A and B are shown apart, each in its own frame.
Chain A
Amino acid sequence: MPPAGIPPSRALPLKESGLFKEVLHYYEDRQLKKGLKTADAILKKFPKHGETLCMKGLILTHMGRREEGLELVKQGVRFDLTSHICWHVFGLIQKGQKNYEEALKSYTQALRFDKDNMNILRDAAHLQTQLRLYDALVETRHTLLRLRPQLRQNWIALSVAYHLRGDLAESKKVLEQFENIVKNVPDYDVEMSEILLYHIRVLEELSEYTEALALLDTHAKSRMIIDRVAIMEYRARILSKLQSPEAQQAWQGLIEQNPDCYDYYKGFLSSRAIDLDAVTDDIRPGALQILQDFVQQFPRAAAPQRLALSVSTGEQFKELVEPYLRTRLQKGVPSLFTDLKALYRSPEKRDAIESVVHALLDTLAHAPDAPCPSSIDPTVYIWTLYFLAQHHSHLGRHAKALELLDTAIAHTPTLPELYMFRGRVLKRLGDPYGAARWVDQARLLDLQDRFLNARCGKYRLRAGLIDEAVEVFGLFTKKDAVSPAQDLEDMQSLLYLIEEADAQLRNGNHAMALKKYLAIQKVFDDFEDDQFDFHGYSVRKFTINIYLNLLKWEDNLRSHPAYVHAAIAASRILVKLHDDPSMASAASDSHLSGAEKKAKKKAKKAEKKVQEEAKKAPSSTNEDKGLEATAPKDEDPDGTKLLQAPEPLERAAKLLKPLQTLAKSNIEAWVAVYDVAIRRKKYLQAVQALHHAHALQADSPELHVRLVDFKRRCAPNPALRVNMFSDTIGPGSSLSEKPDESVATVVSAFLPKLLPDEMSLEAYNSQFLQKHSTRGDAVLAAAKVSQALGAPREEVEAAVFNVLNADVELDIETAVAVDAFLSEIRSPREEEFRSAAGERFALSTVFVPHAKLPELRKSALHVPNVAEEKEEVIS
């Protein structure tokens, strides 16, 4: 007889019920083969037994037969909707698929039928943390603590849950209760030490500094807290917050421990009422004196010397910077310029550095073809030339930089840094092909240098040499990977993905560019998923402090420049696609180069091999493949399917969503948000984006283009104007027929703030142009606007050619954008512009006639061999 409360469909006879227990047992022990066999034995008699079906599905999933497994689990759940086992298994599978929302729903179901199941509760807590559902998390942690108060981690987990919810007082209370009842803590217990440090952190965040300090001192003395550095750091920080006179001594102690930590100096100075980030003339002498004393005390530490450079001004700066530069040039510190670049914000310091280093160079100069005088070290001369080349190039004096580098290379032709930087200067001058060639020369000097190799790959991508770039990247990727590109993607190389995507875009291959940008999005999704394991691990191991930092970092993950760049660039492609759907069908094999086709074929072959091997492997091994799906094979190697996928705007909106909170100060992000919102008819969001952009930079040319665009879309005629407000924000709103008055009101209230209501757009545009007629980017923006307003092409062309006027500031990027615009409107004057721009930027190669590009690209790969010209040959 089945026990009461068990539905008849679930109840099994004694024998089968024993078998089912065995299945569970085998699964726990990962004896998958035996588990499967036993499950089949039950199913033979009871083919509709839900729990067995679910277990079989789970086991199959672990064995790599994922689809089959999932199907069985779904079936099992349907046969037994009130079994916690079925729902738990379903939740496990969904969690494995990283579908956290659905997994949590299944767990919630499971808990309805077995509300005190510890395993399910714990898993649910992890899901709630991952989904940032902190109210629910507190509740789950409470239940767990109630069930098992004797487990230390349940107390801490509840405290952390309160903390995450922002309820610090409760968090503190839980910790206090825990500390009152905890017994038998062994000596030097790392876990207890971490818990106490966490407690102090909570107090500190509550601004209860006196209590925090007391707790710290008590437990430091009793040796309950064993992290010595943490004790010192916490102590110094809290004393500073208490404005205690002891703070200074505490920071001094830390500096003695590590005299190269900037934060310690910052803390020390703050204890003397000096804010290192805002040094005024009043406190400058005092601050400098303190730093100088530290320099005396720690002559080998760089931090106080460098900080003194930031703080000092005028003559004093000159006095300090001279020995700073000299010792480092003598040592040959390649990163010296990077170290000092931040000082260049002050023109006075910049000029002082220039004069010091040039004076130094004068004492070092000597001929490259004779022995250097014994009083001079030739390597110091080289590093000085290298520094000055970086200095001048940074300030836009590229010709001077090239001259210095050529002098250095003639003297010492074996230093890769010189070639690399020469490449970089050429890149800045608009010669990506020459740049790639020089960086390749650097690479050839030392083939085992990964940095040189990666640079070379990057520069080849900049020159549009995608296949050749992948070839160099491939020198350092895994040899058994499907392709170097795939390996780099698996290794989450953001540098490579960004550069390749940009290169594809420049080459006009939107499909591949989109594919790579979305690969970057995927990398960030993975980063987000990666935190999951820590929700369990960190609480179990009591590494709470670092765990809380991790969660904070994850919440700001997508503020990373690579994500921001990829999201904006991908959204632009998707917007283009929306405006011109024919782009998707045009994307086909036709624009694949021969090498790309070859690579594709190769990839296909490799894939086939992998599949065959997978087939050969016996399917009934005991090997546990885990619940997480392995990477599916690439069904869309050239990105065409991505380009053809429906709803480009919705996809773009999803990509941009994180930027609205994480990249608020990025005007490009707001412009991108506008471009998507306006096309999705989300007028409120569009106007908001314009407003944010306006607040960041009111006279931005890109914003100007959007403002006019917005007005045009809103008000071509009054009838349309009413019509457009029939959409409100929010899903499903497009069904509503009624114009939403409130949206219309907000928009019409905001719009006049951004651009005048009574002026014609043409007049508004010429006003903008007049105001910024000396800015190349503004001239281009105005031309774009007049084109959009229907001006004849000749007029638009004439307007845009004004960027070449002598009084207009024009940089290479803008000139390239002008060229792209002319090409977009199919201007017959494009080549004319290119040749004019080529003259303007004499050392550039980006404006050579299109016909010459293939030759240039080839030149980027050909490193000249000087030896070839010699007569005498020795074999």
Chain B
Amino acid sequence: MSESRPAQPRVSFAAVTPNNLGTVRKLNSVLFPIKYSEKFYHDIVQPDVEDFCQLIYYNDIPVGTMCGRVEVKDGQAKLYLMTFAVLAPYRSRGIGSQSLKHLIQTTAAHAKPKINAIYLHVQVSNDEAKRFYERHGFKEVGLYKDYYKKITPHDAWILQLDIEQKDAAGGNP
């Protein structure tokens, strides 16, 4: 009996849109101890952030999400990564790393505006997450006191990755 070899697991991405927003809501509801406002859901489907607001698929099933917004201050643009997570059973198989690399590449290739850095908050109890980001070049640049109001601990690290500018067209690491 012949048998086809199990296919390589596929990781793929798709922009968040009003149509698949229900999937994002579902993922957020199980992934984070936080309720996101309607404004959050409104902002992440805007066309200008579609590169940074993505669903993550594993074998064509949505298993994670990452949503960022662009913040411009003093002529410097930064990407603030608001949410980024993968469903528990799907962790430890490189999906997060692939996704973050994908995001870093897209950010580096982004032209209007050019983005100088990606930053995000990690709750100070979450060492694992911190190590994950540090593996991808993020550095702790500060502490946000009482970032969380209800969940403890209240504080959050601020992690940042400076982006080396590449050609707008280039996506090679």
* Contact A371 B89, CB 8 Å, known A379-B61, A867-B25, A875-B40: yes
| Contact residues in B for A326 (Cβ distance below 8 Å) | 3
Q: Is the CB of B26 within 8 A of A414?
A: yes
The yes or no answer to B172 lying at the interface (CB within 8 A) is no
Instruction: Tell me, in angstroms, the Cα distance from A124 to B128 when the chains sit together.
Output: 84
Are A378 and B149 touching (Cβ within 8 A)? no
Q: Is A849 an interface residue (CB 8 A)?
A: no
Within 8 A of B (CB), among A847-875: 865-868, 870-875
Which residues of B are found within 8 Å of A319, using beta-carbon distances?
1
Q: Given B26, B28, B37, B59, which contacts A873 in the complex, CB threshold below 8 Å?
A: B37
Could you say which residues of chain B place their CB within 8 Å of the CB of A374? 92-93
Q: Please provide the chain B residues from 19 to 47 with a CB less than 8 Å away from any CB of chain A in the complex.
A: 19-23, 25-30, 33-37, 39-40
> A423-465, CB under 8 A of B: which get 1 and which 0?
0000000000000000000001111100000000000000000
B58 to chain A, nearest CB (A): 7
Given known A-B contacts A323-B1, A369-B88, A874-B36, A446 and B149 have beta carbons under 8 A apart: no
Q: Are B20 and A445 in contact (CB under 8 A)?
A: yes
Give complex CA distance A411, B61 in Å: 12
- Least CB distance, B128 to chain A, in whole angstroms: 11
Q: Which residues of A (306-354) have their CB < 8 Å from a CB of B?
A: 319-320, 323, 326-327, 330-332
C-alpha spacing A6/B37, complex, angstroms: 88
Measured between alpha carbons, how far is A368 from B90 in the docked complex, in Å?
A: 9
Pick the contact of B59: A367, A379, A414 (CB < 8 A). A379
Which of A382, A411, A865, A872 has the most C-beta atoms of chain B within 10 angstroms of its own C-beta? A872
CB-contact partner of B35 in A332, A366, A867, under 8 A: A867
A841–B14 CA distance with the chains assembled, in angstroms:
43
A330 adjacent to B89 (CB under 8 Å): no
In chain B, what residue has the closest Cβ to A449?
Answer: B19
Whether A445 lies near B35 (C-beta < 8 A) is: no
Are B35 and A413 in contact, with the CB atoms below 8 A?
no
Measured in the bound complex, the distance between the Cα atoms of B2 and A296 in whole Å is 7
A807 to B159, CA, bound (A): 69
B61 adjacent to A299 (CB under 8 Å): no
Instruction: Pick the contact of B88: A368, A866, A867 (CB < 8 A).
Output: A368
With A872-B150, A873-B37 already in contact, the answer to whether A414 and B27 are too (CB < 8 A) is: yes
Q: Chain B residues with Cβ under 8 A from A875's Cβ?
A: 37, 39-40
Nearest-Cβ distance from residue B83 to partner chain A, whole angstroms: 9
Distance (Å) between the CB of B164 and the closest chain A CB? 30
Verify A370–B36 contact, CB threshold 8 A: no
Min C-beta distance of B39 to chain A, whole Å: 6
Chain B contacts for A331, CB-based, 8 A: 4, 7
Given A332-B60, A370-B88, A875-B40, A870-B93 contact (CB < 8 Å): no
In the bound complex, do residue B40 and residue A377 qualify as a contact, i.e. CB atoms below 8 Å apart?
A: no
B173 at the interface (CB under 8 A from A): no
Nearest residue, chain B, Cβ from A377: B9
Specify the chain A residue showing the minimal Cβ separation from B93: A374
B147 nearest CB across to chain A (Å):
10
Q: CB within 8 A of A300: which of B4, B28, B29, B91?
A: B4
CB interface residues, B 111-160, toward A, < 8 Å: 148-151
B88, chain A: closest CB distance, angstroms: 5
Closest to A417 in B: B61
Question: Given A332-B60, A448-B19, A868-B35, does the pair A370, B28 have CB atoms closer than 8 Å?
Answer: no
Q: List B89-111 residues whose CB lies under 8 Å from chain A.
A: 89-93
Across the interface, do B40 and A445 meet the contact criterion of CB distance under 8 Å? no
Q: Once the chains bind, are B2 and A444 in contact (CB under 8 Å)?
A: no
A412 at the interface (CB under 8 A from B): yes
What residues of chain A lie closer than 8 Å to B26, measured between beta carbons?
Answer: 413-414, 445
Q: Measured between alpha carbons, how far is A871 from B9 in the docked complex, in Å? A: 36
- A382 to B36 CA separation, bound complex (whole angstroms): 28
A414 touches B37 (CB 8 A): no
Nearest CB on A from B41, distance (A)? 10
Asked if B91 and A870 make an inter-chain contact with CB atoms under 8 angstroms apart, the answer reads no
The closest CB in chain A to the CB of B83 belongs to A874
- A330 B6 Cβ-Cβ under 8 A: yes
Q: Which of A323, A378, A448 has the most CB of B within 10 A?
A: A378
For the complex, give the distance between the alpha carbons of A330 and B23 in Å: 23
Instruction: Report the interface size for chain A: residues with CB under 8 A from the other chain.
Output: 45
How distant is the Cα of A867 from the Cα of B4 in the complex, in angstroms? 42
Interface residues on B, range: 35 or more
Roughly how many angstroms separate A533 CA and B111 CA in the complex, as a whole number? Answer: 58
Shortest CB distance B123–A (Å): 10
Q: Complex formed: what's the CA distance from A868 to B25 in Å?
A: 11
Knowing A296-B2, A368-B89, A874-B37, the reply to whether A444 touches B30 (Cβ < 8 A) is no
Looking across the interface, which residue of chain B has its beta carbon closest to that of A870? B35
Tell yes or no: B170 within 8 A of A by CB: no
Interface centre among B26, B58, B89 (most CB of A within 10 A): B89
Q: How far is A875 from B69 in the complex, measured between Cα atoms in Å?
A: 13
A372 in contact (CB, < 8 A): yes
Q: Give A873 to B92 CA distance when docked, in angstroms.
A: 28
Complex Cα–Cα for A656 and B3 (A): 52
A754 at interface, CB cutoff 8 A: no
Query: B22 touching A447 by the CB < 8 A rule?
Result: yes
List A contacts of B22 (CB < 8 A): 444-447
- Complex CA distance for A446 and B59, rounded to whole angstroms: 17
B23 touches A414 (CB 8 A): yes
Which residues of A have CB within 8 Å of B90?
371-372, 378
Given A377-B6, A379-B59, A872-B35, decide whether A866 and B29 contact each other with a Cβ distance below 8 A.
yes
For A446, the chain B residues whose CB sits under 8 A away are 19-20, 22-23
Instruction: Check B34–A874 contact: CB distance below 8 A.
Output: yes
Expressed in whole angstroms, the Cα–Cα distance for A598 and B9 within the complex equals: 52
In the complex formed, the residue of B with least CB distance to A324 is B1
Q: Is the CB of A414 within 8 A of B61?
A: yes
Contact A412 B61 (CB under 8 A): yes
B18 CB within 8 Å of chain A: yes
Residue A295 at the chain B interface, CB threshold 8 Å: yes
How many whole Å from A650's CB to the nearest CB in chain B?
Answer: 50
Q: Which residues of B contact A447 (CB under 8 A)?
A: 18-22
Q: Measured between C-beta atoms, what is the minimum distance from A669 to chain B in Å?
A: 43
Say if the beta carbon of B63 comes within 8 Å of chain A.
yes
Interface string of A376-394 (1 = CB under 8 A from B): 0111011000000000000
| Known pairs A296-B2, A369-B88; A871 contacts B61 (CB<8 A) | no
Residues in A lying within 8 Å of B, measured CB to CB: 295-296, 299-300, 319-320, 323, 326-327, 330-332, 366-372, 374, 377-379, 381-382, 411-415, 444-448, 865-868, 870-875
Minimum-distance CB pairs A-B, first 5 = A444-B22, A299-B2, A371-B92, A875-B37, A871-B150
6 additional A-B residue pairs with CB within 8 Å, beyond A300-B4, A369-B89, A411-B87: A369-B88, A374-B92, A412-B61, A867-B25, A871-B151, A873-B37
Cross-chain pairs A/B with CB under 8 angstroms, 8 sampled? A327-B3, A371-B90, A374-B92, A414-B27, A444-B22, A865-B29, A868-B35, A870-B33
